[in-house]
A = this chain, B = another copy of it.
């Protein structure tokens, strides 16, 4: 599926042209960062293909994967970007990925002149908000095994694409705990 077709999920034809006209197609190599911790973000991106994660790296080197993003999602370090503060997390490509990169100030020009792009942005922020709320709830209310089962349902085939250590850091558990859960589920 090409980018134009993918964007029809979100946008009518004429709006797709508008978005593409302000964006740049880019390839991001596996393990490279779209946004780094400490950097003031000035861009968002639509993921055409590939895989990303949002990750906090603690002072002791421990990682917490706060989000996993596949194709057809928008990447951003949103709070930091709108506050013009340094990002608290990294956005890392887990596979060589293609994105449509959009400069935030350029997007703001669209927002200023057309209510359509305000409503579109509202939808994106609402989606981000809902994902965060569900994630908070899952981490608080579900046990690790249930979280792992939900992960397998939500991201089918992802087990082959992501290292176990990253899956564990997404589930908020130690890699050893994940191994135990996986063994238990085999029987």
Is A108 among interface residues, defined by CB-CB distance under 8 A?
Answer: no
A65 to chain B, nearest CB (A): 11
Ordered by A's residue number, 25 sampled pairs between the chains whose C-beta atoms are within 8 Å are A56-B137, A58-B140, A64-B140, A66-B136, A78-B129, A79-B130, A79-B133, A82-B126, A82-B130, A83-B130, A88-B133, A115-B118, A118-B118, A118-B119, A118-B122, A121-B122, A122-B122, A122-B125, A125-B125, A125-B126, A125-B129, A128-B129, A132-B132, A132-B136, A136-B136
- Check A109 for interface membership: any CB of B closer than 8 A: no
Residues of chain B within 8 A of A134, CB atoms compared: 79
A34–B30 CA distance with the chains assembled, in angstroms: 47
Interface membership of chain A positions 80-112, coded 1 if the CB is closer than 8 angstroms to chain B and 0 otherwise = 001100001000000000000000000000000
Q: Which residue of B lies closest to A129 (CB)?
A: B129
Closest 10 CB pairs of A and B: A79-B130, A115-B115, A79-B133, A122-B122, A132-B132, A129-B129, A125-B125, A64-B140, A118-B118, A88-B137
